[in-house]
Structures are given as structure tokens and as C-alpha cells.
Amino acid sequence: MELLKVHGSMNTFFLYEGSDRDDFPQLAKELALLDPSVDGLLTVSPSSRADAKMRVFNTDGSEASMCGNGLRCVARYVCEREGIEQAVIETMKADLAVQKEQEVDAGVNMYGVEISPVSFQLADLPMMFDQHTEWRQRALPFVGADIPFTAVAVPNPHLIGIVGKDLQQDPSHQEKWAAYFNGDNPYFPDGVNLSYVTPLKEGIFVRTYERGVGFTDACGTAMTASALVSCLAGLVPFGDVSVFNPGGMVNCSVKSADGQYQLKLSGNATYLGVYRFRAGTASAGGELELMNQSDEQPAYERFIEKISGATAELR
């Protein structure tokens, strides 16, 4: 198999184009063992109703309904393959509009992607807690009284907590509860992505423990959900929100009309290299070989260096 290694905000994946296969979950787990830097496998296959279909497999083999950072990379791949600047990508829960955008810095390819649908209904995560149907900007009493949490599906399930700098600098509190919520617990039967958000002068900082992965440099749907929650909480105004993360920075557009929300995630879609992958067998392990390394990463690192001052105390 030929694979393209890509990243959005250092949320790193292997991308495979071809027909759907039954062994994608196993391949994702094997690739994670061969290259622990990756957060999953993106697959691009034909769609009967869109320009392409995307599937997302986490490193534990589970399939995610969406991935905003991965979608930007798929958007670039499909648009460049077709010679177009706008496309529609089929995902598990929705067909999403994507488009090429202006470079934020020299050599950094940028794409904007729709994040949809949005639901605050706990049944859509799912989350179960004392017969509640929604949970917005309220502390969870079993966690503590100091963190207002909001549960939202976009469509991946997210629990967003607004915290001070101390809990960003020491992620042990977040890790404790994320591990609990993604293990045997009475609240999230399918697990949940847990993000802690801290307001900055320039926007917000988001750190995410991703279901099926663990702590990531960035999670696209989490950053978008965090931007929405931050707007609703009055931390930032509706409109364009700069969202910083351990892997870089993205822009999230949050618009509200008649109780409905329109969300767009804009950020880098960077190619790292082309690989040849041979899956393992019963008698031998798999093989992963770099065939052609891209020269795009230095441009992204220069961009990160320019913005690093805004979040230095939180990293």
C-alpha cells in the first residue's frame, strides 16, 4: 500500500486512497506500532453523492465519525487530485463542504472545512447523568465545583471544560478524568473527547484528550466545539476565533442564527512524505518504508515559531 503522511496542527495521520477494506481497523493499529507519531488512518474512497468519502480510524482501531484536522488534509488531497478549489466530502454523519484558502504564512497550505451537525442533546454523544437532556456551562459535582462543563456533539462527542492556567500547565487533572470517562464509567458508555479551554488575549488555548488516542497536539472537532462553547460563555465574541493548541493554531468561524450554529475550521494541511506499507502476517511483522520526504514541514515550523509567544506559558 502507498500511504501519504499528513498533518493538521501536528495531528498526524497516514492517508490511504482506495476502495473500502474490512481490515482498516487492524491496519490503523499496526501503523501506530510502526510509527508512534501518528494519531490514526484516514481513508479516501469513491462516493456516490460527493467528491470523495472519508473514514477515520484511531490508533486503537476504533472508527471516529469525523476528524476536522484530518478532513483538511483529505480536502487538500481531493482538491489537488481533481484540480479544483472547492469540494464536498462524505463523512459518517454528514456531507461537508471544504475549500482551499489563502496561505497564513509562506509555504503553509491552508484549507477550510465545514463542521456539522451540532447538537447539545446528551443522547447524541451519548452522555447519561441524572435524567438531564443537556449540560451547558455547569460544574459536574463529582468532578468539582470550579470547572463549568458543556457537552456537545459536532458530531464527535465532546466534553468541554473552561479552566485556569494552572490546569493547563499541569494536565494530570484532565488526564485522570479523561481516562475515567473513556473507561468503565456510568456517564459515557462510548467514551468522550475531553478538552480543557483557557482564554487568552488573542483567543483561546485548547488541550484535548482524544477518545481512542490520548492527548493529541490538536483535535479539529474539539477546537471547533471549544470555540463555540467559548462564544456561548462570553469568553470571545462570535465570529472568527483564534484557537491555539499544543500543535499550532487554527481559525474557527462561529456564526449563530435562530438557535442554529454554522461552524468552519480553517488551518494547515501539510504533507510530510510518501510511504510504502506492507501489512504484517501471522509469521512476520509489517514494514513501513519512507519513499519520498516532503519539504513542507520547515515552513510550518517557521509559522509555529512566530505564534509561540502567545501560548508559551501554557505549553
**Is 221 labelled a binding residue?**
yes
219 is catalytic: yes
Max intra-chain CA distance, the chain: 59
**Is 68 labelled a binding residue?**
yes
**Is 185 labelled a binding residue?**
no
Catalytic one among 73, 219, 231, 252? 219
73 is catalytic: no
**Is 210 labelled a binding residue?**
yes
Catalytic one among 67, 73, 79, 231? 67
Compute the chain's Rg from CA coordinates.
19
**Is 58 labelled a binding residue?**
yes
CA–CA separation, 131 vs 82, rounded Å?
49
**Is 11 labelled a binding residue?**
yes
Which residue positions form the known binding site?
11, 58, 68-69, 156, 193, 210-211, 220-221
For the annotated binding site for substrate, the residues are: 11, 58, 68-69, 156, 193, 210-211, 220-221
Residue numbers annotated as active site = 67, 219
